[in-house]
Chains A and B, each alone.
Chain A
Amino acid sequence: MKKEPIKVKELAAAKRVNSFDEVVSGYIEEEALAEAARCLQCKNPVCISGCPVGIDIKKFIYHITKKDYKAAYFTIREKNDFPSICGRVCPAEYQCRKACVLSKKGLPFASAESINIHFLERFSGDYGMKNDLEISSQKNDKFSKFKVAVVGSGPAGICCAGELARSGIKVVVFESLHKTGGVLRYGIPSFRLPRDILDFEIDYLKKMGVEFIPNFIVGKAKTLDELSSEGYSAVFLGLGAGIPSFLGIKGENLCNVYSANEFLTRVNLMSAYKFPEFHTPVNIGKHVVVIGGGNTAMDAVRVALRLQKMNGIEPDASIFYRRTENELPARRLEIEHAKEEGVNFKFLVKPEEFIGDEKGFVKKIRCLKCELGEPDESGRRRPVPVKGSDFEADCDMAVIATGLKANQLLTKVTPDLKIDKYGDVVVNPETMETSIRGVFAGGDIVGGEGTVIEAMGMAKKASQAMLKYLSEKSI
């Protein structure tokens, strides 16, 4: 008899919209055991091919079935340093779960039947965290004389820092903001990734001897050359994606039209939802329109809806997306959560103009309706605006979540660092080394926006190459 997938417990939608508390509660032991027992332990575990860092999924799930959670944790840690983070934010339904043999084929994402690998990963990660399981350092005397600089404390930076520190290298992480974590702190809301998880992981790195220097803008306060002359033997650039894309339509600079980065940074990093206890303000509209269909758009619309609830405003928060629900690039779980919480979805609409009032605040949005045309280079059907289908909708606050361009703070002042036409850093894909010897890169600054796990995968690859580079140097 086929066993039903084990649903994960969640805070009730009506309750959770009044706070930033974590939505997904995670499996308890019995649930994890039951879900792990569904795994077929395939001879040819294709799920692993779906994991950007190649976690031995079959093996870690096997360990769970044997109640050897410690072994499950360490199995994941062989490939992924932050299972508690990735188990919460990985778009598993596009990766390992889609590859799982139990998933129905021919869908753009995994069907519900596939093993809930991400929840099992989270269970194992949280077990490791609660029980203070430590990865033994493989301190190597030949590395202890080296000092390495990591630029940026986001997913790529902290992953690289951990890998190098474990080999006995002195790692210093430079962060331009006043707090560490990068997008995990300013971008992803705490209802998806509680801050104590992030703090735990960063404190763990500190305990391993990694030094964090916030408020330090590499490229501005010090150049890469200066870091190298100060004794840093290698550098890892985890600069992240930086500049938010705007739509280039009329009225986009009206008040209360935010980039997702600005809106989320105000709320997540600066705690604007606790204004005036915290001093950074954020405005909250009665009719909020979020443009885009990715995870950032889902985060923004769900934050906006919470702010409406917390401020006694009748919730009206919508996603406006050019394609249809099937093409939404966000995690399916976030889409489901957004729906449960009361987010409206308007599909096949293309914003044309923001209309403002006399004080310069947005009050309406004008859009065109779209039809789906031929597939474009991304393989998704292209939205084609329908002439004369203009309509207006109430919108006294808008959030634009249509992507980011490269962070250029460092690359602009480092002419030797080769970048591509998008401003992303060019690397040797085998080693992640840039055009400057001894300078490596990974994460969104390489190849544009990706996921947390992809960034970590690149960082891990870079760290291996950095160890090789340093051991050659030490001869």
Chain B
Amino acid sequence: MKIVKKEILTDNPGAKVSRMEVVSPDIAEKVKPGQFVVLMVSPEGERIPLTVVDTNRQKGTISLIFQEAGLTTKLLGRLKEGDSLYALAGPLGHPTEIKNYDKVILVGGGVGIAEIYPVARAFKQAGNQVTTILGARTKELLILEEELKAASDKFYITTDDGSYGKKGFTTDVLSELLKEDKYGLVYAVGPIPMMQKVAQATQNFKVKTIVSLNALMVDATGMCGCCRVDVGGETKFSCVDGPEFDASLVDWDGLIKRNRIYMDKEKHICNLTIK
């Protein structure tokens, strides 16, 4: 659980993203693309899920990438190389189903870009033609550009403000691509509004669309149901049934609301604790 390497990927007001390499030989040995771990920074801390971005089996380490959003990710961001996490368990959730779809499109937005990186490499390895679309608010917030470029056959960048790549949203590029060619799968991870837009964009093209959801969790092992989400009219637990689901079936409105359940308390504790 020792942090052997820490790197700040972007440091902008309201959007600080870091990468950490953490010792955990058992998880490193087992984790597959799409799976996550649950961690605690301190004994008083929360349990939060984070997707595993990369592994180094020789060193027995896993890499995690996180944006400082709430208290726990801010405290995590304060840890330095040599520090240890208080708790780390996994791997959790179903791995991404990796097979040959011929052509796949991966859409990553914000810190969600980190989560599509291992998936992109796995699809590439499975013989897919991988098209990647990355989206960020502005150029400085873009992460893992080189890594994903290397893992992709075709590569697009969009920024909301046009400071880099194409001005606009990932879904603009996605719609154009879908009009021009046939794809076996669209895989998207990012802020909920982005994933929701992806789901809308792909609906007309009848292309299988998978999203990885970032629901709130406590134990993350199926015990509490905090992360439940309505998928196709059925209640599913993101932790053990997901975290990936068919985008066309997700009740986005419900998910957005559930993710805001502790917003007041989160603000309060951040104000108290983070000076």
Contacts and interface: CB of A to CB of B under 8 A. Distances in A.
A215 B87 contact: yes
Interface stretch (B105-113, B137-145, B170-178, B226-234): B226-234
A190 B7 CA distance: 42
A221 B257 contact: no
B44 A271 contact: yes
Given A216-B26, A259-B225, 16 more contacts: A216-B89, A217-B92, A221-B90, A222-B26, A243-B237, A252-B235, A253-B230, A253-B251, A258-B225, A261-B223, A276-B265, A277-B44, A279-B44, A280-B45, A361-B261, A409-B221
Interface string A185-222: 01000000000000000000000000000111100111
B91 A221 contact: yes
Interface stretch (B8-16, B185-193, B266-274): B266-274
B55 to A, nearest CB: 13
Nearest to A223: B30
B40 interface: yes
20 contacts: A176-B89, A176-B219, A177-B221, A178-B47, A215-B87, A216-B89, A220-B30, A220-B91, A221-B89, A221-B91, A242-B221, A253-B258, A255-B257, A255-B258, A258-B225, A270-B46, A279-B269, A359-B257, A360-B253, A360-B260
Q: Which of B90, B225, B254, B261 has the most CB of A within 10 A?
A: B225
A279 B72 contact: yes
Contacts of B262: 281, 283
Interface string A277-296: 11111010000000000000
Contacts of A246: 225, 228, 235
B224 interface: yes
A244 B224 contact: yes
B240 interface: yes
Contacts of A186: 219, 223
The 3 closest A-B pairs by CB, nearest first: A360-B257, A262-B224, A178-B87
A256 interface: yes
B60 interface: no
Contact of B224 (A221, A261, A408): A261
A243 B30 CA distance: 24
A6 B86 CA distance: 47
B225 A276 contact: no
Given A221-B30, A276-B269, A265 B218 contact: yes
A12 to B, nearest CB: 31
B27 interface: yes
Contacts of B90: 217, 220-221
A337 interface: no
A434 interface: no
A280 B261 contact: no
A215 B88 contact: yes
Contact of A244 (B223, B254, B273): B223
Contacts of A222: 26, 30
A275 interface: yes
A220 B90 CA distance: 7
Contacts of A254: 257
B40 A281 contact: no
Given A221-B27, A277-B44, A253 B71 contact: no
A259 B92 contact: no
Contacts of A214: 87
A317 B267 CA distance: 27
Contact of B86 (A178, A242, A259): A178
Interface in B240-270: 240, 251, 253-254, 257-258, 260-262, 265-266, 268-269
> Chain B binding site: helix, strand, loop or mixed by DSSP?
mixed
B222 interface: yes
B247 to A, nearest CB: 18
Interface in A21-56: none
A266 interface: yes
A276 B258 contact: no
Interface residues of B, number: 45
Nearest to B228: A253
B87 A265 contact: no
Contact of B225 (A220, A248, A262, A281): A262
Contact of B218 (A271, A276, A280): A280
A407 interface: yes
Interface in B42-88: 44-47, 71-72, 86-88
Candidate in B218, B222, B265 with the most chain A CB atoms within 10 angstroms:
B218
Nearest to B25: A221
Contacts of B72: 279
B218 A409 contact: no
Given A217-B90, A279-B46, A408-B240, A177 B219 contact: yes
A270 B46 CA distance: 7
B88 A243 contact: no
Contacts of B257: 254-255, 359-360
Given A255-B258, A275-B265, A276-B272, A265 B89 contact: no
A255 B218 contact: no
A119 to B, nearest CB: 32
- Residue of A217, A359, A409 with most partner-chain B CB within 10 A: A217
B273 A276 contact: yes
Contacts of B226: 262
A174 to B, nearest CB: 11
Interface in A383-433: 407-409
Contacts of A244: 223-225
Contact of A281 (B26, B27, B223, B269): B269
